[in-house]
Each structure stands twice: as C-alpha cells, then as structure tokens.
C-alpha cells in the first residue's frame, strides 16, 4: 500500500469548487478518498463534483454549498457531510477572502472584519466542529491553507497577512492540545499560485516582476503543486508531521 493512499478516507474541503481547493479535491479523490465539494455557489459545487466523479468513474465527490461567513451554514456543512459520507477523517480549510488591496490606513472596518471572520473565525469554528469525532476516534488530520503572507509583511495586503498568520497559530494550538489523541494539524503556505483568487497579483506586471525577481524558480506555482502537499498531510505519509507550516513557494521566501 502506498503511503499516500487515501482509500476509505472522508475529506471535507472548503473553497473546493475552483483553484487550489478544487485541485486538492481532485487529487484526494484520485488517491482513493471520498470528498465534499463546498463553496458559496451551488452550481459550481455540483459541476466540480460531477467532473471528479466522471474522471474517477464512480461517485466519490459530493456537493454541499455553504457560506463560511455564516456559522449556521458551517454547522450544516459538517452535519450534511456526516450524513453523506459518514465521518470526517480530514478537514481542509481552504476558503478565504481578500476584499481589499492597499494601505491599512485606507481599509474600511467592515472589510477588515470580513477578512478576520472568513479567514480566521470560520476555520476555528470548523475545527471545533470536527475535533470531537477525531478525539473519540483518536485519529484525524486538519489542514489549513495559509500563505507566505503569514511570514512576510506587505504594504498592500496587511489584513490578509494578519489573518493568514493567525491560521498558522490555529494549527499549532490544535497540535499542542490534541496531538496525544493522534490528531495532526498543519498549515500549507503557498507562494503566488496561478488561481482566479490571486489573479489581481499575477496579472499585474509590476507585482509579477517583483515576485519573480525574488523567486529562484522564476515562475509562479500551479494548484496541483499545493494539492500534492495536502495529499501527503492527509495520508499516512504525513503521520508524524504536526503543528507545522509547509512553505510551497518556489523559494520566494528564502531570497
């Protein structure tokens, strides 16, 4: 059996109808898992689930739309996941928002609150919802998609950076408190990845030039390059990795 085998694993992935989340869902399914596709738009969730099921040749992906800003919908997401696939072996918090680029001095309070609510609070709520069954089972993996924004300052992404740094600490706290129950919690910190979410960055010639000038690999990343790390952390291959942040940035942060 491969160390990366996910057969009989049930995985809930937020923000998984496109971009990094979709790639993670596809790769987890390819490695044998049942996956929940979740984002705000029901149509996109259904299309992604159908695409994965057609690719695999069996029903392994299921659609449950939910808005991460709504605690009631998060509770419903977890409950419906259990109804559809029985359990949650792995939680992958990928959904996030960034409604503002510019100086922190100019950021409206409501947009700051939205970033903190969607990028931090929703992840903590989801973790708290799935932890009890993981504790009872004495097995589970939680993965939060953070960012290299968690470890670098920015003149235009201040609130987003703050939120991603908090995500790093969420997994450290979970690892410290529940590691003795065989629960692993880790974050992945991507660099600039070619997704719609980051389009405003990689389509901006000046920003792209700056990023590439400090990236030894001289290119931005692809969603599958994050998905591979998620598969590792979800599988037996990641069994002794706990409380860590794995940077996947082509070397940007070492320059």
197-247 confidence digits (pLDDT tens): 777 777 788 888 888 899 999 999 999 999 999 999 999 999 999 999 999
Task: Check whether 65 has a pLDDT greater than 90.
Answer: yes
Nearest by Cα to 243 from 171, 190, 189, 194: 171
The answer, as to whether pTM is greater than 0.85, is yes
Which pLDDT value is given to residue 224?
97
Which pLDDT value is given to residue 115?
98
**Residue recorded with tokens 């149509």:** 43
Split at pLDDT 50, 70, 90, the class of 255 is confident
Task: Return the H-helix or E-strand segment holding 120.
Answer: none
What's the rounded Cα separation, in Å, for the pair 138 and 151? Answer: 31
The CATH fold of domain 10-254: Rossmann fold (3.40.50)
The token pair at 107 is 């950021």
Concerning whether 240 is annotated as a catalytic residue, the answer is no
Split at pLDDT 50, 70, 90, the class of 67 is very high
Digit-coded pLDDT (tens) for 179-203: 999 999 999 999 999 887 777 777 7
Which pLDDT value is given to residue 203?
78
At residue 212, the 3 state secondary structure works out as: helix
Give the dihedral sign, CA 195/211/221/184: negative
Cross-strand bridge partners of residue 193: 221
Q: In what order do the strands lie in the sheet with 140-145?
A: 61-63, 34-38, 10-14, 90-93, 140-145, 183-190, 245-248
Digit-coded pLDDT (tens) for 138-189: 999 999 999 999 999 999 999 999 999 999 999 999 999 999 999 999 999 9
- Of 31, 160, 178, 201, catalytic: 160
Domain ranges of the chain: 10-254
Longest dimension (CA), the chain: 54
Task: Return the H-helix or E-strand segment holding 50.
Answer: helix 42-56
Task: Check whether 1 has a pLDDT greater than 90.
Answer: no
Angstrom CA distances, 201 to 78, 98, 210, stand at 33, 12, 10
Cross-strand bridge partners of residue 34: 10
What's the rounded Cα separation, in Å, for the pair 159 and 169? Answer: 16
What's the rounded Cα separation, in Å, for the pair 140 and 220? Answer: 31
């Amino acid at each position: 059996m491969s160390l990366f085998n996910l057969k009989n694993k049930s995985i809930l992935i937020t923000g998984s109808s496109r971009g990094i989340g979709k790639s993670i869902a596809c790769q987890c399914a390819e490695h044998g898992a049942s996956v929940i596709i979740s984002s705000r738009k029901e149509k996109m969730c259904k299309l992604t689930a159908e695409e994965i099921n057609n690719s695999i040749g069996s029903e392994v992906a299921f659609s449950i739309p939910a808005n991460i800003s709504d605690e009631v919908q998060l509770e419903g997401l977890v409950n419906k996941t259990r109804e559809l696939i029985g359990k949650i072996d792995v939680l992958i918090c990928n959904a996030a928002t960034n409604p503002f680029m510019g100086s922190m001095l100019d950021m409206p309070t409501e947009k700051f609150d939205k970033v903190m609510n969607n990028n931090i609070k929703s992840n903590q709520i989801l973790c708290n919802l799935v932890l009890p069954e993981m504790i009872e089972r004495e097995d589970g993996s939680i993965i939060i998609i953070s960012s290299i924004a968690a470890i670098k300052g920015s003149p235009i992404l201040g609130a987003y950076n703050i939120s991603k740094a908090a995500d790093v600490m969420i997994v450290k706290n979970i690892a410290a408190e529940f590691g003795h129950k065989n629960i692993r919690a880790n974050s992945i910190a991507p660099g600039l990845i070619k997704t719609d979410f980051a389009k405003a960055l990689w389509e901006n010639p000046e920003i792209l030039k700056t990023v590439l000038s400090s990236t030894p690999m001289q290119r931005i990343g692809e969603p599958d390059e994050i998905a591979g790390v998620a598969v590792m952390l979800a599988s037996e291959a990641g069994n002794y990795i706990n409380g860590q942040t794995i940077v996947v940035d082509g070397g940007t942060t070492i320059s």
